[in-house]
Amino acid sequence: MADYVVAIDQGTTSTRAIIFDKSGSIVSSGQLEHEQIFPKAGWVEHDPIEIWNNTREVIGQALSKADLTRHDIAAVGITNQRETAVVWDKNTGQPVYNAIVWQDTRTQPIVDRLAADGGVERFKQIVGLPLATYFSGTKIVWILENVEGAREKAEAGDLLFGTTDSWVLWNLTGGPDGGVHATDVTNASRTLFMDLETLSWRDDILEVFGVPKSMLPEIKSSSEVYGQVEASSLLREVPVAGILGDQQAATFGQAAFDTGESKNTYGTGNFLIFNTGEEIVHSKNGLLTTLGYKLGDAAPHYALEGSIAVTGSLVQWLRDNLGIIKSAPEIEDLAKTVDDNGGAYFVPAFSGLFAPYWRSDARGALVGLTRYVNKGHIARAVLEATAFQTREVLEAVNADSGVDLTELKVDGGMIANNTLMQFQADILGVPVVRPVVAETTALGAAYAAGLATGFWENLDDLRKNWQEDSRWTPQMDEEERDRQIRLWKKAVTRTFDWVDDDVRNA
């Protein structure tokens, strides 16, 4: 009997396969990290072949740990790092270049060129996004303009583009041998090319970008059978039936299905998503308008999103680039050696600032330093940066929605950090709540796949699976909270205007 669903979570730092049972509990999992390639300052790449090989391997790990075979699996769901762009040859299956990762800022000159006519909000009313290096569209343009022969091959119809959901789906379903080239509405809504109302590619925008439509995947719903897994896979003939971008998947896994529900995920970056139901809401406060999910033929659900580029990756930076901790959890021990930040504020504008500022000219700054500050204070400042950035995004959500959020549902790798979660509640002034299954990203993809295949009946089935695990309540007094936020906002202004021609040409 097929009593389980597999979710493939193709993330920024690793690829996971997680097997869930009907109660939404994890039965087993496999995980492999892939190399982060930094060819130059501001450039971030992944090797798509490594990612695909890892995907195959983690599926094997998860199945064998639980002693299961394909006959036990009802469906496969895919979730993924969202704006990371892969371009490959459909005849050979070979990528023409490494995947250009969402954090990569090399396309700033392309953004400037496109924004010269109409500014960065040129297409915002149609696609929900400002022109920014973050989104996959400008990354495709870079590949077409900089990889030898790419433009000609693309014009001839030989190249395909996909975010990593499409890359994994195409390979899972046969690759050059009949692989399905599709994506879901949530991933499509991060390209700069999809019309939020019609959920189709905009020919006029593609023309401005110079991207041939033949490269683009077919836009499908988030929950339907896209195809079957190909014959050489351990999951042979299992239907692939769910795709959601990682942040939308986490929202779905948190059972935040209805208007006004939300979640905040603390991973490589932080992403707060606020469900606006069937209504497209345009932000006045620096949030993105994006797809929440679409189940088969049902109407799409939209969302507002506050994206923060650097949160958990700042902890990794402390570990990998400075070496003052050996593992991510050690940051909490170090932070606990002091009572406060000692006056230090760390604004990690490594990829510029995303929500709510959208300042690509910003770069990171550690300010407020005196001879007093030690590495414990810096560890605290690193953790606090995540909480302050979240506070600013929450302010934007409250302003856009006109209702103040009364608690924040959280998930992601950083929520294991109690010191951070307590400080987060203190700085927000509302409780922070963690569910039992913290792997909400994978769970959301499993839900989407299981709904399409009748493994789960309906959303009520899924709501029942959500259970509270822990809750942090605010303890900081209001005066201190206001003072901290004031200092943080001052620190943020110190990162502005850093990137100019001197920096760009260095």
Ligand X SMILES: Nc1ncnc2c1ncn2[C@@H]1O[C@H](COP(=O)(O)OP(=O)(O)OP(=O)(O)O)[C@@H](O)[C@H]1O
Residue ranges for the binding site for sn-glycerol 3-phosphate? Answer: 12, 82-83, 134, 246
61 or 316, CB closer to ligand X? 316
Question: Residue 220, CB half-sphere, CA atoms under 13 Å: how many?
Answer: 23
101 or 373, CB closer to Mg ion? 101
The correct pick among 160, 206, 414, 421 for binding ligand X (CB under 6 A) is 414
Q: Which of 150, 161, 152 is nearest to 187 (CA)?
A: 161
- Asked whether position 49 contacts ligand X by CB under 6 A, the answer is no
Q: Which residues contact 119 (CB under 8 A, 6 or more apart)?
A: none
Query: Cβ 366 to ligand X, closest distance in Å?
Result: 18
Going residue by residue from 204 to 243, which x/- string records binding to ligand X, judged by CB under 6 A?
Answer: ----------------------------------------
Query: Cβ 377 to ligand X, closest distance in Å?
Result: 16
Q: Which of 438, 462, 468, 437 is nearest to 448 (CA)?
A: 462
- The answer to whether the beta carbons of residues 227 and 272 sit under 8 Å apart is no
- Alpha-carbon torsion (472, 475, 480, 481), positive or negative: positive
Q: From the annotation, which residues make up the binding site?
A: 12-14, 16, 82-83, 134, 246-247, 268, 312, 316, 413, 417
Tell me the two tokens of residue 443: 């769970």
- Asked whether position 312 contacts ligand X by CB under 6 A, the answer is yes
Q: Which does 417 bind (CB under 5 to 8 A by kind): ligand X, Mg ion, none?
A: ligand X
Going residue by residue from 252 to 271, which x/- string records binding to ligand X, judged by CB under 6 A?
Answer: ---------------xx---
Site residues for Mg ion, window 2-41 (CB under 5 A)? 11
Q: Which residues contact 142 (CB under 8 A, 6 or more apart)?
A: 100, 106, 107, 110
CA 371 – CA 376 distance, rounded (Å): 13
Helix (H, G, I), strand (E, B) or coil at 393: helix
Q: Is the peptide bond before 39 cis (omega within 30 degrees of 0)?
A: no
Going residue by residue from 441 to 460, which x/- string records binding to Mg ion, judged by CB under 5 A?
Answer: x-------------------
- Asked whether position 81 contacts ligand X by CB under 6 A, the answer is yes
227 or 267, CB closer to ligand X? 267
CA 232 – CA 226 distance, rounded (Å): 18
- Asked whether position 389 contacts ligand X by CB under 6 A, the answer is no
Q: Which amino acid is at 358?
A: W
Judged by CB under 6 A, how many residues of this single chain contact ligand X? 20
CA 73 – CA 289 distance, rounded (Å): 35
- Asked whether position 32 contacts ligand X by CB under 6 A, the answer is no
* Pairing verdict, β 218-220 and 182-184: parallel
Residue 68, phi then psi, degrees to nearest 5: -115, 160
- Asked whether position 338 contacts ligand X by CB under 6 A, the answer is no
The correct pick among 412, 435, 444, 450 for binding ligand X (CB under 6 A) is 412
2 or 328, CB closer to ligand X? 328
Residues that bind Mg ion (CB under 5 A): 11, 246, 267, 441
Binding site for ligand X (CB under 6 A): 11-14, 81, 267-268, 312-313, 315-316, 328-329, 331-332, 412-414, 416-417
